[in-house]
Structure 1
């Protein structure tokens, strides 16, 4: 599970009710934690970041953010007039990032004079993940934000009956589904692709990336655009979901043992 993202997480603004302790301090919590491996970023084919001293900022209700020491930034940073204010961290300055003959505008930020309670941010720089061409965790390229080490994914086989309907018509039934539990997100039920009539599926050009599961491809389902997604080459640890489909979209409903379940479609690009 994530420490910060989602309701009732240990460092979210809303404390869990099922604990025998109290956390004394601000409701909005910050936790600066070492990233355990080498991290690199590239722009225009040239290195922008190369660090074994990166840190992860866990912040209540927000996704984890990677920061690196300014000395580990290899590209040219040009100050801009853009700035933002965070009541918990202070005033952020921004920089254009130039490497490989290209410039990414306002692609990096940091807190030159952070608030006293976040003084450890001084000297660190963060980057918009998608402003760089490529990121590497050690020697493996990653297509999205860094993994939160406190987020866990479990995949389990289930014999409970899973039914998928489109506009009220049943399009798939199975007792061979997989249930995927991921952090604060609702359980997602993955149906074997062979249990869905092929004539109801149409290949989509849409893709998305999850640092925990891999590159997702999409399908139009029974007239519902991008109503299903799957992982052709899932990450280590979730290989069971290969050749299985998850569903979400207007007009689609997933029921488990006759009860509707909450779905959730990953961000698409």
Structure 2
């Protein structure tokens, strides 16, 4: 499978094709808000993002910032870099999104800053916001990246990207 040609980068953007593999963690000075079930379930500026080649950033937020919105659920997965993940159902108002969040309770070396942090799939939420901008979910359903105007693709998850 051929690697796609990166999109042109506009002023103020970064290309996901410049992100590394293995992924890099960054503490970032942004405000993240998530609305679900007609409620604001998180509002924090304690944010770590993970950057990986061809993927929009995944934002990890303190579990404590979610209050009662996260309920542990079944299921697990494994990332060769970050380790074993567990999943959460997300609750807001009268709504529930099954398996809509995950974290790494014992992250691998180099990813310890993900301990006690959780990432959320944007698609099932009412909206996810980074510094006032409503994000677009990463294509494909499997991936948890958040697309903003600050990044250029193309992004893993679009049709034909399985082999990237």
Q: Distance in 2 between matches of 1:44 and 1:110?
A: 22
The Cα of 1:39 is off from its aligned counterpart by: 1.2
**Shift of residue 37, structure 1, vs aligned partner:** 2.2
Aligned length: 135
1:109 aligns with 2:102: yes
User: Is the 8 Å Cα contact of residues 66 and 146 (structure 1) preserved in structure 2?
Assistant: no
What is the alpha-carbon root mean square deviation over aligned residues?
2.5
Counterpart of 1:147 in structure 2 is 148
Three-state SS of the structure 2 residue aligned to 1:132 is coil
- Whole-angstrom distance in 2 between the partners of 1:86 and 1:93: 11
Q: 1:193 maps to which residue?
A: none
| Cα distance, 1:146 vs structure 2 | 4.5
Is 2:73–2:88's contact at 8 Å kept on the other side of the alignment? yes
CA drift at 1:45:
1.1
Whether contact under 8 Å (1:51, 1:72) holds in the other structure is yes
8 Å contact kept, 2:24–2:50: yes
1:202-221 correspondence runs (5 A): none
Per-residue deviation, residues 109-138 of structure 1 (Å, max 9, x unmatched): 000011122112111100001111122334
Whole-angstrom distance in 2 between the partners of 1:10 and 1:126: 19
Which TM-score applies when normalising by structure 1? Answer: 0.45
Structure having the higher Rg:
1
| 1:75 Cα deviation from its structure 2 partner | 3.9
Tell me the TM-score normalised to structure 2 length.
0.71
Alignment correspondent of 2:78? 85
- Identify the residue that residue 37 of structure 1 maps to in structure 2: 30
SS at match of 2:89: strand
Q: Output the CA distance in 2 between the equivalents of 1:52 and 1:121.
A: 15
State the shift of 1:56 in Å.
Answer: 1.2
